[in-house]
Chains A and B, each alone.
Chain A
């Protein structure tokens, strides 16, 4: 059985959905305001994606 290939965009999408869900839950509990929180944190999705792409490139070069 072949190993599943690592997809950086999948990591970015997953992280984005995870973050959105966490923020929405916190907002419903009254701990944060949803819109300002999303405005503050959305660029982290790009950061996580970039890190995943770098990891993918280096790991492909090593193998």
Chain B
């Protein structure tokens, strides 16, 4: 049962990251952050660290709220025209990250938790490096922060990693972006 929950958490994290990758507007981005944070929190909870889970969920929630409020692009913006490369990215990079987390790495933490964090980082990285819209880029960067915080939390016994990841995710979304940059975003 515990194992299944962990894999569900991994799936949730993947789904959240994929939503973020496939979305261009604020609702999609915010939900992506939230789902990913929830997935990461679940895998930490399953591993028995409720504090980490709480911190990650709270950080993700706060970050998604800020992302929602700060982004001027309304709506979901899911699967806009020309999304095929992003769908491929979500599957291929997600799959590669899963292999890396489960097959190629022996630590930190258990395979599902590790893989979830790596998937979130990889998909966040893919989105961050490919997008022109600064708000979407910051949302993607906050995924990386949450994933890195989870990895740090897996490697240590205290909650500092999760705390720092969460704070970074929130801080990234708090960064103001210039209006002209917004206009350039696509």
| A, B from the same assembly | no
- B interface list, Cβ under 8 A from A: none
